[in-house]
Chains A and B, each alone.
Chain A
Amino acid sequence: MADFLFYLFAFLTVLAAVGVVLNRNAVNAAMCLLLSFAGVAALFTLLDAGLLAFVFLLVYAGAVVVLFLFVVMLFDVQGAGPRKPYKTVPAAASVVALALLTTGLLSLIERGRLPGSVPVAAPGFKEFAARLFTTYLLPVQVTGFLLLIAMLGVVVISKRLETKEAAQ
């Protein structure tokens, strides 16, 4: 059953990711991104990381995609005109990259048999929290400070341009 679910969600995730790249409309791309995030969260759940899946859904599907949609709708999407949405020279370069990727994946499938077919017991919430507030206490503080700096930076970026536009 878990195997079937893995294939289902892996297929969904990869298909939605392809949709992000191929969709011409940015709103549809954001919706595909949401679907892909949901698939990744389901894969997290299959890996017994329920807390991470929850946080992932909360942050990505709840905040990031909404932010993307907000910005997309702020812009004039039709202003881009009927130009083709892909670049030409990088398209040729990506064909070469695709060949390299295929070679790498084939070698991974053929001889990349990593050990560890039997997963050990997953860590619970308690262990997670204990580790987060003992061993990783400094990174937690630094990350909190980073969030504060990001918030201040966003405010500064938005403010300064507004005043410059008003001065012109």
Chain B
Amino acid sequence: MNALPPLLAAGWLPAQVGLNHYLLVSALLFAIGFFGVLLRRNTLVIYMCLELMLNASALAAVAFSRYNGTIDGLILVFFIITVAAAEVAVGLAIIVALFRLRHTVQVEELTLLKN
């Protein structure tokens, strides 16, 4: 264990799983979703990455709620899930309408509002 850098030896894997670990996973998920939104060209995949970021925030809320002993975080996540379902329905309807109009889902070709 001494061969590890002090960062890892400070208790990543050997330590008992606590709030920090869940927050770390949540931050990682959020960052991955963010990179997906930045990097991808396909509108649908960008939308999937948005869902990923929403999940990351929900995971953080549940972890905080669990370690604080309050139920409010869980109820917040309940509402997040509901709103996300409505958002997905409307967003996918808009994407389908856009595809019917422009026959593409690549973001670079959707420049209807440019100039």
Contact = CB atoms under 8 A, between A and B. Distances in A.
Interface of A: 2-3, 6-7, 10, 13-14, 17-18, 20-21, 23, 26, 29-30, 33, 36-37, 40, 43-44, 47-49, 51-52, 55-56, 59-60, 63-64, 67-68, 71-72, 74-75, 79-80, 83, 85-87, 90-91, 93-94, 97-98, 101, 104-106, 108-110, 112-114, 116-117, 119-123, 127-128, 131-132, 136, 139, 143, 146-147, 149-151, 153-154, 157-158, 161, 165
Contacts of A105: 24, 27-28
A134 B101 CA distance: 46
Contact of B45 (A29, A40, A154): A29
A158 B90 CA distance: 10
Interface residues of B, number: 77
Contacts of A104: 27
A44 B58 CA distance: 9
Given A20-B52, A64-B84, A91-B39, A143 B21 contact: no
B29 A13 contact: yes
A90 B38 CA distance: 6
Contact of A85 (B38, B42, B93): B42
B48 interface: yes
Main secondary structure of the interface of B (DSSP, over half): helix
Contacts, number: 228
A132 B29 contact: no
Given A40-B58, A132-B75, A150-B86, 5 more contacts: A7-B17, A37-B55, A83-B106, A119-B66, A146-B83
Contacts of B12: 109
Nearest to A91: B39
B78 A64 contact: no
B110 interface: no
A64 B34 contact: no
Contact of B78 (A2, A55, A74, A87): A55
